[in-house]
Structure 1
């Protein structure tokens, strides 16, 4: 692997791809042998959770909620990954005699993401009709969605006697017409917050700077905006991605 980023990288303010699904968790834990790292240095994910819009989005307890009431008992679990913390985990190939060895790869895998180095060189760019944009940032303080209300009935929906059964450990989504906002707790005591929106309903120009994104939150998710505002002095980064969906005409080559 040839990595273009200099190390060490910051923990929270590094890159997205923080919320894993179960098959990804199994791969990291069982296939790559990272169970000790995941258990000691990352958060277990309390599933996906969605809060659907009411008229004002000003009271979390009035929103329809879908999510676990208790952490599942099975061992097929997923994780909320602090990507900088994970990417610092290094592996080296050392032979029995103690010497490091170079390996001639039988395949070349283009893992350059959106830059798509090989795809562009070979003219394999595929047009995608899905038009959506994203903006996200990290705040260097844990924001617990459970603290947004002291309503006992709302809190009683979650069985807090079961370990890891905490709303803040879910991949939380605030859902609205043409958008969703994620809130994702990270192990470095930061939180990742992102806006994903349909380009026709929510123009990219309304959220492509932090102040604009805050204005957008005040209009669409005022309860979330108030919490972020209280901790904006701990802003770690702000990133955007326009038309994030992309495709490729061919995934595997006979030339390897």
Structure 2
């Protein structure tokens, strides 16, 4: 998606934080923006601010954890602009902090309902309509550095939900038609309402500019905080070490490879001439 001008970009949780920064950045390139979240007053503030920047933007109150609400949001997006070129599943929350045996499981489920099933709902609803639309489109899901390694201590629900988002994105990337691009965005520590609006993190606008370049380039791993590679390498080294010690490569080791097993099963089921 080399040119964002006149592209219709839908952003969940787009009224504040990373979502709003992306709305401004994409809007500056001439994109038409649709934002949705639960707070009507915040949506108005955001759309007014975008209008002041000469960005064409509309908004709708919606809840990503409610499938009917996401369907209505998609209806609104297509009715307003006639198509959707990109969905950014940005909405997310934190919480359920503490040792796992002390966390209220209902709080943990709420984290998953927003951070994972909110993304699931967006992908399910919008991808189906994008397939019917039949034109090049893209879905980007907000993961986190916590998709790659545990960055925040005593946050098992949040970390697990962000690992799940990465798995969902990678599954979709294999399963959707080639004309629908799928990517995962991995923010590090960014100053947003989610992180307490402190100034210790990367400014959201700076992050959005880093992200935009990669989205335009059609990347599927969208990265920012370079020091994360220290933690990614540590995890990868541990994994490689385990395989080298207990499951080293050898001739014929693809016998139990699931991909090859599935290929053989599919081939065996095909009718022969």
* TM tier relative to shorter chain: under 0.3
TM-score relative to the length of structure 1: 0.28
Higher helix share: 2
Higher strand share: 1
TM-score relative to the length of structure 2: 0.27
Structure with the bigger RCO (C-alpha within 8 Å, sep 6+) is 1
